[in-house]
Amino acid sequence: MKKNIYSILRGKFLISDDSFKNWRIIIFISALAIVMIASSHSADKKVHEIARLTNEVKELRSAFVDGRSTLMRLKMESTIIKKVAEKDIKISEIPPTKIRVRSQQE
């Protein structure tokens, strides 16, 4: 048992006569490890990209809601009256009336 462990540590399985099959397995396992590491890095990159995009969506949604509330405040009649009053335009006391135009064919 001690001799087998010592021969593995010294690497005799790599230089013996039938070492070709051992080298094939080692190269195959190394290639699989490289593919697994690359896949892990790719998945981590995608997770970080998703987190960044999620934060960006939250910021844009917040800006949209803020802009919409500002627009609603600007569209209010009291705000419009204040803006028009700055230009010395007064509100009409008489409500508007509809003008009906009849066509000449009738």
pLDDT single digits (tens) 18-69: 777 778 888 999 999 999 999 999 999 999 999 999 999 999 999 999 999 9
What's the pLDDT score for residue 77? 87
Asked if the structure places residue 71 within a domain, the reply is: yes
If one counts the domains in the chain, the total is 1
Asked if the structure places residue 98 within a domain, the reply is: no
For the stretch 4-37, what's the b/e string if a residue is b when 16 or more beta carbons lie within 10 angstroms of its beta carbon?
eeeeeeeeeeeeeeeeeeeeeeeeeeeeeeeeee
CA 77 to chain centroid: 39
Q: Which residue range forms the structural domain that includes residue 45? A: 2-86
Asked if the structure places residue 70 within a domain, the reply is: yes
What's the pLDDT score for residue 7? 76
Both tokens assigned to 84: 């028009």
Distance CA 1, CA 38 (A): 38
Asked if the structure places residue 72 within a domain, the reply is: yes
Query: Is pLDDT larger for residue 104 or for residue 45?
Result: 45
Q: Give the rounded percent of residues in the chain with a pLDDT score beyond 70.
A: 98
Its pTM surpasses 0.85: no
